[in-house]
């Protein structure tokens, strides 16, 4: 049975930013569970969830938070499964969230994508799961080859426009 991905956000107001991650994971056929937990307002719930995530079948946790953005670190502190942080642009153009997410102490890694980078977080989660899931690996290979074909088509179309000048 394939591992699930948890998408945990600090506030439900972050959901519009995270919708691309939910869609991408579903497109790959990955089961995703979406939850709201706060590193500051519900720290016990966040710790308890993270402690039990592996036993509940999760293979990756994606943590999204803005401002102080300690959610990824709190979750990573209580589990051995990979945690991916998405800094959410809530204040200071998201720079505060980026720095809070990426600056983890030794022993508490949080892989961090760009500000509002939900789609890349989902792809990274799929890549992690694909290490032990050949079906996901094949789907990733197809996604990459489709991207290559798309860029080549855009280049060919551009060359036609340039030649027509």
pLDDT tens for each residue of 2-49: 799 999 999 999 999 999 999 999 999 999 999 999 999 999 999 999
At 96-141, the pLDDT tens digits run 999 999 999 999 999 999 999 999 999 999 999 999 999 999 999 9
Q: Where along the chain do its domains lie?
A: 4-132, 141-165
7: left (phi over 0), alpha (psi -120 to 50) or beta: beta
DSSP state of 127: H
First-last CA distance in the chain: 56
Q: How far apart are CA 69 and CA 136, in angstroms?
A: 30
1 has a pLDDT exceeding 70: no
76 has a pLDDT exceeding 80: yes
| Residues forming a β-bridge with 8 | 35, 63
| Residues forming a β-bridge with 106 | none
CATH class of the 4-132 domain in this structure: alpha beta
Query: What pLDDT is stored for residue 110 in this prediction?
Result: 97
Name the 3-class secondary structure at 71.
Answer: helix
Query: What pLDDT is stored for residue 2 in this prediction?
Result: 78
| Residues forming a β-bridge with 36 | 9
By C-alpha distance, which of 10, 11, 25 is closest to 121? 25
């Amino acid at each position: 049975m394939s591992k699930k991905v948890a998408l945990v956000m600090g506030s439900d107001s972050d959901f519009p930013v995270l919708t691309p991650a939910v869609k991408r994971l579903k497109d790959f056929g990955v089961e995703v569970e979406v939850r709201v937990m706060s590193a500051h307002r519900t720290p016990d719930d966040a710790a308890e969830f993270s402690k039990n995530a592996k036993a509940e079948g999760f293979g990756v946790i994606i943590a999204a938070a803005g401002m102080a953005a300690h959610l990824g670190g709190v979750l990573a502190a209580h589990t051995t499964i990979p945690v991916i942080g998405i800094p959410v642009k809530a204040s200071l153009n998201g720079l505060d969230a980026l720095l809070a997410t990426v600056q983890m102490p030794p022993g508490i890694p949080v892989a961090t994508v760009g500000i509002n980078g939900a789609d890349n977080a989902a792809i990274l989660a799929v890549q992690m799961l694909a290490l032990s899931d050949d079906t996901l690996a094949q789907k990733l290979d197809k996604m990459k080859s489709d991207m290559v074909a798309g860029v080549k088509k855009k280049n060919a179309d551009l060359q036609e426009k340039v030649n027509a000048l």
